[in-house]
Amino acid sequence: MKIIIAPDSFKGNMSAPLVYETIETGIFRAYKKAKVVKIPLADGGEGTASAITEAAEGELVEVSVQNPLGKNRICLGAKMESGAMLVMRYAGFFDRLKGADLVITGEGMTDGQTAGGKLCSVVARESRKAKVPVALLSGGIGGDAGSLLASFNYAVSISCGQIGLDVMIKDSRRDLALAAENLIRAIQIGKKLVKH
């Protein structure tokens, strides 16, 4: 089974690479033979420069420049354009999508903004166009959780009932790995049921 892990960061908690490493841990606990392809992504906001730099096997270089008012600013020595599609192209998402059995994406908080073009919804749209099922593992889900199933084949909050953001953040790596493991186990159950 070829599984693509293509998450955003869990803002203020885990970088995209830490998210995909944690999801990979859960996958391998349930299915050691999985072929996992990890792609850090971003939608033009936090983590974009890191995602593109990693995809290009480059190095971030900090330089000092002046804005139009003559004030010094810190910026990266690369031309940046915003948008999830741009990052997905640079990261090789579309080439790697070929032959995939599943895409897993994730973000720290899923809400009404997600459907409006946040990274996870773009990953879902493009995966579904390619006829690849897509699962969302989210730190939290706000609003109408059922409406997410119009975009995702599977959508779940990783929270295990903790109260308070600090506790949820503290337990997030454990909970994310468990959610990924449970997803793969559910797929295995489904395959067994189909055989009968």
**196 residues of the chain, pLDDT tens digit each:** 999 999 988 888 898 899 999 999 999 999 999 999 999 887 766 777 777 777 777 787 777 766 666 676 655 555 544 378 888 988 899 999 999 999 999 998 888 777 767 889 999 999 999 999 999 999 888 877 778 888 999 999 998 887 788 888 888 999 999 999 999 999 999 999 998 7
Write the CATH number for 20. Answer: 3.40.50.10350
Domain tally for the chain?
A: 1
The token duo for 141 is 């889900």
Domain that holds residue 49: 2-195
Note whether 177 and 160 are within 8 A (CB): no
Q: What's the pTM value of the predicted model, to 2 decimals?
A: 0.83
Distances (CA, A) of 146 to 122, 126, 151, 158: 18, 20, 10, 16
Count CB neighbours of 133 within 10 A: 16
The token duo for 7 is 């998450």
